[in-house]
């Protein structure tokens, strides 16, 4: 990183002189809201319990539902909580096991075979959030030969947000919890809430060896979750190794 010495003799990096965590452009801002949301903690999968705030991975999912191209990716810098945190409990019918690709092929090949969902049904609790609203702040990072400047993709996202256009319906953690979105509301400040949230998913790296999950220590300060640019080291977090469903095996 380039460092220059200022008139007073103190060196400041280019990122420090830019401010805004070193980003060249101001943050893109999108507000999302909905009647329900669930951003499941990774250690509580079978009985889902939400974080009290939207996660960066869920925010990226909302942005990609509005506008996405393979030439760039989104980096979430902050998430502001715009409504007080309210909890509600749901009980839903789900299935215990995860069907494999092999079994899907077997079912397609033999019409006499059936998957009886009634024998595999289970009821599970979800501790979700209700009446939620967030302000997502994000940047665009172009990948390789993007074929266009970053400004083009930023303007395309802004226009789609202003028009309410999207590629697919955005949702808040679970696909059935649909979200509305729009530009920032002037004068609407985050709630005054401070809370340590523990370890949260930062991003997913796709490598030849498979997916690699990267984490950071999250905290809410005056209603704002600031996402660091760099995640924790790979060996800093030990996540429990458990089946995707607590008592079900892959079929």
* Structure confidence at residue 240 (pLDDT): 58
Encoded tokens for 128: 């979700």
* Structure confidence at residue 13 (pLDDT): 54
Which residues are CB-neighbours of 84 under 8 A, at least 6 positions away?
191, 193
Which residues are CB-neighbours of 50 under 8 A, at least 6 positions away?
37, 38, 39, 40, 41, 126, 127, 128, 129, 173
In whole angstroms, give the CA distance from residue 224 to residue 85. 13
Strands 180-182 and 28-37: antiparallel
SS3 56: helix
Q: Tens digit of pLDDT per residue, the chain (251 long)?
A: 444 444 444 555 544 555 567 788 999 999 999 999 999 998 876 788 999 999 999 999 999 999 999 999 999 999 999 999 999 999 988 888 878 888 889 888 988 888 888 888 888 899 999 999 999 999 999 988 878 889 999 999 999 999 999 999 999 999 999 999 999 999 999 999 999 999 999 988 888 888 888 999 999 999 999 999 889 988 887 765 544 444 444 44
* Structure confidence at residue 243 (pLDDT): 46
* Structure confidence at residue 251 (pLDDT): 44
Q: Give residue for tokens 């979430």.
A: 76
Q: pTM score, two decimals?
A: 0.81
Q: Give residue for tokens 């299935």.
A: 95
């Amino acid at each position: 990183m380039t460092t220059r010495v200022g008139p007073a003799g103190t060196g400041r990096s280019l990122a420090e002189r830019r401010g805004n965590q070193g980003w060249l452009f101001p943050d893109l801002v999108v507000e999302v809201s909905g009647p329900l949301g669930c951003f499941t903690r990774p250690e509580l999968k079978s009985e889902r319990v939400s974080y009290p705030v939207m996660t960066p991975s869920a925010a990226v999912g909302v942005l990609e539902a509005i506008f996405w191209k393979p030439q760039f990716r989104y980096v979430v810098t902050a998430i502001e909580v715009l409504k007080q945190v309210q909890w509600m409990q749901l009980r839903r019918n789900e299935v215990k096991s995860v069907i494999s690709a092999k079994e899907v092929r077997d079912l397609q090949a033999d019409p006499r075979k059936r998957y009886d969902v009634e024998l595999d049904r289970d009821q599970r609790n979800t501790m979700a959030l209700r009446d939620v609203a967030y302000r997502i702040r994000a940047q665009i990072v172009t990948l390789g030969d993007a074929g266009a400047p970053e400004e083009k993709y930023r303007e395309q996202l802004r226009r789609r947000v202003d028009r309410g256009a999207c590629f697919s319906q955005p949702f808040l953690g679970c696909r059935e919890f649909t979200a509305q979105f729009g530009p920032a509301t002037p004068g609407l400040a985050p709630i005054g809430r401070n809370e340590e949230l523990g370890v949260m998913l930062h991003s997913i790296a796709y490598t030849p060896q498979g997916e690699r999950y990267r984490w950071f220590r999250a905290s809410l300060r005056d209603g704002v979750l600031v996402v660091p640019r760099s995640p924790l080291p790979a060996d800093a977090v030990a996540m429990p190794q458990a089946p995707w469903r607590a008592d079900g095996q892959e079929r």
